[in-house]
Structure 1
Amino acid sequence: MGRAWVVAGVAHALLFLALGLATAWKTQPQTLQAEAELWSAVPQAAAPRLQEPLPQPVPEPVPETRPTPPAQPTPPAPAPDPALALKDAQIALEKQKQEEKKKEAEKLKAEKLNAEKLKADQEKAIQDKAAKEKLNKAKAEKEKAEKDKAEKAKLEKEKLAKEKKAQEDKEREKKKAAEKEKAEKAEKADAARADALRQENLKRMQGMAGASGGENATGTALKSSGPSATYAGRLVGRIKPNITYPGDMVGNPRAEVEVRVAPDGVIQSRRILQSSGNKAWDEAVLRAIDKTEIFPKDTDGRVPPVIVLGFRPLD
């Protein structure tokens, strides 16, 4: 609005100036101009002719100098038509108004576009921020879920491992107790069998001592007698070289073994009747019996089906 008032003021000033110039043009006095040329009318007097003068060079004619005419005054410019000046001022004012309106419209349009762009940028920034936060939240939730899952799996694995170990320990203790009970029962049974064999061997020896030794004897004591007195020692001497025991032995413990033999002397089975207290020595004795494989016949040509042998490391 301020610029419009300025333009209006300028237009009115131009209008007043045009009116003033028109008035001055009508009241200006007319100036008459005249020109004049001056010519010399005085005759030249002739000199007396005394003698004939020498011919003189004819001087070149001097060009006649004419006076410079006075400068013509510049005619005044025609005064502008007041109506035309007013119309031009109004046209300029209207054009200025149109330009101002156009600039104002362009300004408003630019401001609107800038505001819309700013709003769109702000909305996009808000959307981008929300999308980023949503993505980060989903990522954090996924990581937490994976971490919780891994932790749960770890705890479950540890729980199963503990339960498995407890079950294994329980079964191991149960098996150990069963083996111990079985070993105790077997040991008692072996001791009972060993005692029975001793009693049987003792009876056989006693029968041999009381039996008739003649060739024509008809008693049954000789036929039912046990192995000879030296047979057990012979078998121990045959087996002992096969014993391999690398460790150091404390004391001289005795391992008592029951051996069952086929009629041809082939060893059928062997087992510890009475342990020496040293498991390594017991196993070394059993391996030596297995390595021997076959027993020789006794002095009577027979092989006792069952015989109990004792082994001491220092014997």
Structure 2
Amino acid sequence: MTAKATPHLEFAPPEPPGMGRAWLVAIVAHSLLFLALGLATTWKTQPQTLQSEAELWSAVPQAAAPRLQEPLPQPEPLPVQEPQPTPPAIPTPPPPPAPDPTLALKDAQIALEKKKLDEKKKEAEKLKANKEKAEKEKAIKEKAAKEKLEKAKAEKAKLEKEKLEKEKLAKEKKAQEDKERNKKKAADQDKAEKAAKAEASRADALRQENLKRLQGLAGASGGENATGTALKSSGPSATYAGRLVGRIKPNITYPGDVVGNPRAEVEVRVAPDGTIQSHRIVQSSGNKAWDEAVLRAIDKTGILPKDTDGRVPPLIVLGFRPLD
């Protein structure tokens, strides 16, 4: 009849070879050990009685003399020695029961399952810790991104505000410049109108004076616009001033626009050969840029042509208008 096979658990480790012999040797060794311990304890508890005997011997045999016959002393009675009680025998402990291989396998399986549970628990704790760490890092990154976005929005809002302020200042500056330009333009126009009125008044006065002169000097040889009092003009011809203005005006370079038609009068001093020696504004047009352009044109001309009589007046006053 064969022995019933021990059930093998699924996750238990395989049985090592020679386990039966090992258990048998262990049981025998433990039994001998307990037996030795019991004997040693019994020997120590038994009473010990010391007895000694002695015998005397002579070196040469000699015959002893007869001794007196004395009554033999009565021997003293020996003390009655009470018997010692026999100590009770110490029972030998039974040998430990042989371990059950099934229980060992169950313990091994329990230990393995416990180890697996511990590992699963540690793995779950590790996963939980990693998850918490990841969530914490994610929260930190989201917070940093949010702060960065808010900072970018604040910077953008600041730049837009600065841009709006700059545009506002630029508009206000432009409006102020336009206002000043219009004001200056109105002042120049008013000045030009006043100059035109003064020129018209002067021309009217000159015309009236010429009429009087003509009425007083019917026999004079001067022209209708002559201003002298002599019968014969000794100065430049009537067309000489216009010729000089026509000679100088092409050299005028004026990049801007002139409001109205102001007149700039320039006094020019000339050498006998026609070389311009000096010049100055005797009556401004009210536009400084136009006056300076006229003076530059006179400098550029350099030499004035001679009159019909072959002479050049040493001093002559010329008038220049932009639209003439």
What TM-score do the two structures reach when normalised by structure 1? 0.48
Larger helix proportion, structure 1 or 2? 1
Using structure 2 for the length normalisation, give the TM-score: 0.47
